[in-house]
Amino acid sequence: MAQINPSILSADFARLAQEAEAVRGADWLHVDVMDNHFVPNLTLGVPIVESLARATDIPLDCHLMIEQPDRWAPQYVEAGAGSVTFHVEAAAAPVRLAREIRAKGARASMALKPATPIEPYEDLLPELDMVLIMTVEPGFGGQAFLDIMLPKIRRTRELIDKHGLSLWLQVDGGVAPSTIERCAEAGADVFVAGSAVYGAGDPAEAVRALRAQAETAAAGAPWACKH
């Protein structure tokens, strides 16, 4: 079952409650936290996540593009996030951090920038509920999808299946009607979409259309029969 997570990075930050309402039916709301150190952009932090969690029923998928996630990630669970993603490039102790996020009651997820390979982290997969393969350099919405990430998505799906794990495989960056099928065929099952959803005339309809496209593409993929 494909999940679609609209990214509020492409929404109107002054109207977040209404922007959440505009994507009713979405599986999660993707919240991009940027600190202007790990990435060259600055967005929002714990207080806004806390308010947003109170303002919507859609669970929050917080993507932390920040330095020192070991120090900050647990606060996002306390703020109400249902899933917290840290970047492995920034984490000092990813296993300890994933365990802490889970112990506090959220799903633990690890993100990889485009130049970070998945193979060194094979043994960490059982500690995680989701892996995020970035399909753009993190920092900004509206960038072009990096096709060269498709083999990494495929290899990650193979590792997940090889170990018999049920963790989700998320893609983020440039996911749109023209790219989502290739991601689904490669093995992704959670799709972040910012500009493709909030740039559409009817964002809720864009979510439904993307989900339908992903499910059709995944049904024909070789890995689908294993699920």
Catalytic residues: 32, 172
Closer CB to Zn ion, 2 or 175, in the complex? 175
Separation between Cα atoms, residue 128 and residue 95, nearest integer Å: 9
51 is in an annotated binding site: no
Closer CB to ligand DX5, 121 or 191, in the complex? 191
CB-count burial class (<10 Å; 0-12, 13-18, 19+) for 202: exposed
CB-count burial class (<10 Å; 0-12, 13-18, 19+) for 14: exposed
Under rule CB under 6 A, which residues in 142-171 are in contact with ligand DX5?
Answer: 142-143
Helices 69-78, 94-103: crossing angle, 10 deg rounding: 10
User: Can you state the percent helix, strand and coil of the chain, rounding each to 5?
Assistant: 45, 20, 35
Does residue number 185 form part of the binding site for Zn ion (CB under 5 A)?
A: no
Closer CB to ligand DX5, 199 or 224, in the complex? 199
Return the structure tokens found at 218.
């995944």
Does residue number 35 form part of the binding site for Zn ion (CB under 5 A)?
A: no
Binding mask 71-110 for ligand DX5 (x = CB under 6 A): ----------------------------------------
Q: Choose from ligand DX5, Zn ion, none: what does 10 bind? Cβ within 5-8 Å by kind.
A: ligand DX5
Distances (CA, A) of 19 to 10, 99, 171, 195: 10, 32, 22, 13
Does residue number 9 form part of the binding site for ligand DX5 (CB under 6 A)?
A: yes
Under rule CB under 5 A, which residues in 143-182 are in contact with Zn ion?
Answer: 172
Q: Which residue in 11, 27, 28, 30 binds ligand DX5 (CB under 6 A)?
A: 30
Q: Choose from Zn ion, ligand DX5, none: what does 193 bind? Cβ within 5-8 Å by kind.
A: ligand DX5
Q: Choose from Zn ion, ligand DX5, none: what does 141 bind? Cβ within 5-8 Å by kind.
A: ligand DX5
Instruction: Give the full edge-to-edge strand order of the sheet including 3-6.
Output: 3-6, 190-193, 168-172, 130-134, 107-112, 83-87, 60-65, 29-34
Which residue has the closest beta carbon to ligand DX5?
194
Contact 101, 128 (CB under 8 A): no
Return the structure tokens found at 74.
């647990």
Q: Which residue in 27, 127, 172, 185 binds ligand DX5 (CB under 6 A)?
A: 172
166 is in an annotated binding site: no
Bridge partners of 192, per DSSP, are 5, 172
Which residues are at the interface with Zn ion (CB under 5 A)?
A: 32, 63, 172
Which residues are at the interface with ligand DX5 (CB under 6 A)?
A: 7, 9-10, 30, 32, 63, 136, 138-143, 172-175, 192-196
